[in-house]
Every structure is written in C-alpha cells, then in structure tokens.
Amino acid sequence: MSKLKQKLAEKIPASRERISKLVKNHGKVKVDEVTIAQIYGGMRGLKSLSTDISYLDPEEGIRFRGYTIPECLEKLPRAEGAEMPYVEGHFYLLLTGDIPTQEDIEDVLEEFRARRRVPQYVFDLLRAMPRDAHPMSMFSAAVVAMQRESVFVKRYNAGMTKMDYWDPMYEDAVNLLAKLPEIAAYIYRMKYKGDTPIASDPNLDFGANFAHMMGIDHPYDEISRLYFILHSDHESGNVSAHTTHLVATALSDAYYSFAAGLNGLAGPLHGLANQEVLRWVQNLMSKMDKTPTREDLKKYVWDTLNSGQVIPGYGHAVLRKTDPRYTAQREFALKHLPDDDIFKVVSMLYEVVPPILKEHGKAKNPWPNVDAHSGVIQWHYGVKEYDFYTVMFGVGRAIGVLSNIIWDRINGQALERPKSLTTAMLEEIARQNS
Ligand code: CMX
C-alpha cells in the first residue's frame, strides 16, 4: 500500500464513527426546509449535501480543507525555486486534510509517476474522432473509454464488502488523475498544433509535465500548477462536482462518474464560461482600432445586458464577493504580464462591470468569478484556442471531485434519490399554506 493510501486508511475509522454517531443520535434534526422557489430555482442554497474537502463561504470564498487559497499557496510544498506548489501536494491535502511534508511529497510524486502511462487505445480513439469535435467531448470520451481499466468493477464483480469500496475507488481515482495531463495535452497538440504530441517527461511533476507536453516554456509550468489548484474544488453543489458525486452514488466507478462531471462542466453557465469571457472581450477589441476606454467598456457592457445576454465571468450562484480564485490569477498577471493588452481590458472591466450589474439589478453577485481571468493568462502564453480552456478546468476539477468520491465510498454514501412532486401537488401544497 502506498504511503498516501496508508495515511488515508488511518483516517477512515474516526470518520466512519463520527458520521454514524451523527446520524444515529441526531438523524431527525432538521437542517433546512425546501421552498417552492428552490424547487423551480435549481435548489439554490438548499443545504442538502456534505463534504469535508472544501467549503465555499459566500463572503470569503473557497477554503480547501480549512485553508484559504493564499494559505494553500504559502503552506504547500513546492519544487526548489518554484513559485507555485506541487499539484500532487494539493491532492494530498484534499484527500487527507493534512499539509504534506517534503518527504510525503516525494512519495506522492512517485505514486503519480507510476500510474501515469496512458493506454494506446485512448490515443487511437482520440485520433478516430472528427478533428473538429469539441475538445471537451474528446476529453470526456477518453475518460469513459478507460472505464475498462476500473479496479472497482473487477473487485465488485469478484465480491467485496461495502467497507472495502473505498480501496478500489482510490486505485481508480489516482490512476485516472495521473493520466489526465497527458490526455489533455495530447488533445491540444493533435487538434491545434499540427498533430505534434510531445512525450511525457517522467522527471517532471503534474503541472510542469503538462506545460512541457503543451510545448510552452516557463513560467507556464507555474500557471499550470496554479490553474489546476485553483480549479480543483468548489464544495460539492456545483454541476461538475455534484454530477460526479451523484453518478458515483449508483456505485458507478470513477471513470463513469468523472466523465459525467466533465459533461456538466462543458456547459456555458459552468466551465465553458472561461472561453466565453475571452471571446466577449476580444469581440470588443476587434471592433476597435485602439485600446478601449472606460466609456467604451461601459457601453459594451450595457449593450450586452440590453441584448438579453449575461456578462461572462461575472456573478456566482453562491459567492457574494470577488472570487479569490480571480484574485490569485490577477496577482499572477500583475507580476508576469502587467503590460498585456487583454489583461488591461480585463482589469478595467473589474472596475466597470460591478457598478453596472448593481444598477442593472438582477445578478445577486456583481463581482467577477474565476472564469473572468483564466482566458487572458492562457492567451498570453500562446494557448489561443478558447475551446481548450474548459479541458484544463476539467484536469484541475478532477483533483477535488475524485477526492470527494473516494470519501463518499469511505463514508458509505447512500444512493442519491430525491423525491419529485407534480406541479399539481405543489399547487395544492401552496393552496393549503396560503
Ligand atoms: N450578467 C447578467 N445577468 C446576470 C449575471 C451576469 N453575469 N449573473 C446573473 N445574472 C442574472 C441571471 O441571469 C438571473 O436572471 P433571470 O432572473 O432573468 O434568470 C438573475 O441575474 C439572478 O441570477 P443569480 O441568482 O444572481 O445567479 P444564478 O445563481 O442564477 O447563476 C451564474 C449564477 C454564474 C450562472 C450567473 O451569474 C451567470 O450566468 N454568470 C455568467 C456566466 C459565468 O460567468 N459562469 C461561470 C460561473 C463559475 C463556474 O461555475 O464555473
């Protein structure tokens, strides 16, 4: 058993006992009530899920295992001379709740290296797909194709007890996670760079190897690490995390579950928003022969709203302040690309959009989310193919959602199956309560 798996195994009895006590002694305690507006409004705010991997405070933003983003960036181990921490260390934190030591990191790096090789049939499958297929459909197809590798399925079919479900889920999750950077970079180089994939370098860590396989020099390795860490998790109610969790509750394996989550991530209100932001900004810039002024931006924002569209990269279902994931990327950009023209526009939008959204009066949160900043940094380093941005979001998101479904298995998460009512039934409930 690897040291990471051993560490996880040590945490299991206490967690199981804690949850079983909670359910046994307080199972009837009410946490929330559901309103008719919530049923029709996408269950917004309904407290009905549990995860210890991360918590999203509306005013403060995300905490990973209790640590804010600046705390994670400061405390997690990094390679000598590197600006950003190891992605592998962040996975260790999300999975175990502990900050890894330098020695722990060496083991995790080794564990990822050992599981990294992507089966040839995945590349064959990608090559057989139409070259104009969306990279997210390629990414999702590659993940689901590897389902035949599932250790969980083999062990389940051979017969195992529920208490052991977490073990093969761990195997599947780490096997899958370790392969994602190569699959993503392969799709990129095949589709957009004249079919010139670059071989994985076994000596590099998750983020640096991705940058290497993308064919982009330093500091792209730093932004890759940062990007994957920032996108890893946003508690469990967002579409990609919730879908992955939901599908896993049917005892579907990590491949099926994560592919389903990726399909949700591909929606324009979720992970696809990062490509929408850049498209929207560049659409404005292409119409002008100069850098847009504040007044130009104000007009553009109002024109977008008045035509019934949303301002991409702004607003959030839970957050009520500037997304700290936006701030972390902004700090990186201020240091590495302060003179980039698109960054200047993105910065100006940060001042222009919130007051307009407040005046417009619809969005509950007028502040930027993570997607408002991702595209500009990618573009700066030469990743100019918008469609690919969500694939990178997906690589990062895997770190959180796969940790989460390992814990679902540990804690014996039940099949998720909420009850639905007909419109007539809800009308009757409304009549009785009015
Ligand atoms: N521009 C214009 N209108 C907006 C808006 C924005 N950026 N954000 C919200 N609104 C509108 C909504 O469309 C909604 O209008 P209707 O009542 O006509 O349907 C109203 O304000 C209330 O919405 P809300 O409760 O504030 O926000 P939701 O929880 O419904 O939706 C989100 C959240 C992110 C989908 C929404 O803010 C949005 O569409 N933003 C732009 C797209 C985006 O940036 N998505 C990325 C989110 C991050 C992620 O999950 O990856």
Do 87 and 207 meet the contact criterion of CB atoms below 8 Å apart?
yes
d(CA 132, ligand 1 centre) in Å: 29
d(CA 412, ligand 1 centre) in Å: 34
Tell me whether strands 67-68 and 54-57 are parallel, antiparallel or unpaired.
unpaired
Annotated active-site residue in 245, 371, 373, 408: 371
d(CA 147, ligand 1 centre) in Å: 34
Beta-carbon contacts of 123 under 8 Å, excluding residues fewer than 6 positions away, are 186, 197
Structural domains of the chain ordered from first start: 1-269+399-434 (1.10.580.10), 273-380 (1.10.230.10)
Residues in the chain, total: 434
Ligand 1 pocket member 311 (CB < 6 A): yes
pLDDT band at 429 (very low <50, low <70, confident <90, very high): very high
Q: What is the pLDDT of residues 136-194, one digit of tens each?
A: 999 999 999 999 999 999 999 999 999 999 999 999 999 999 999 999 999 999 999 99
- The whole-model pTM stands at 0.95
- What are φ and ψ of residue 322, in 5° steps? -60, 130
Q: What is the pLDDT of residues 333-387, one digit of tens each?
A: 999 999 999 999 999 999 999 999 999 999 999 999 999 998 999 999 999 998 9
Annotated active-site residue in 90, 242, 270, 380: 270
User: What 3-state DSSP class applies to 217?
Assistant: coil
Tokens of 1: 């058993």
Q: What is the pLDDT of residues 223-275, one digit of tens each?
A: 999 999 999 999 999 999 999 999 999 999 999 999 999 999 999 888 888 88
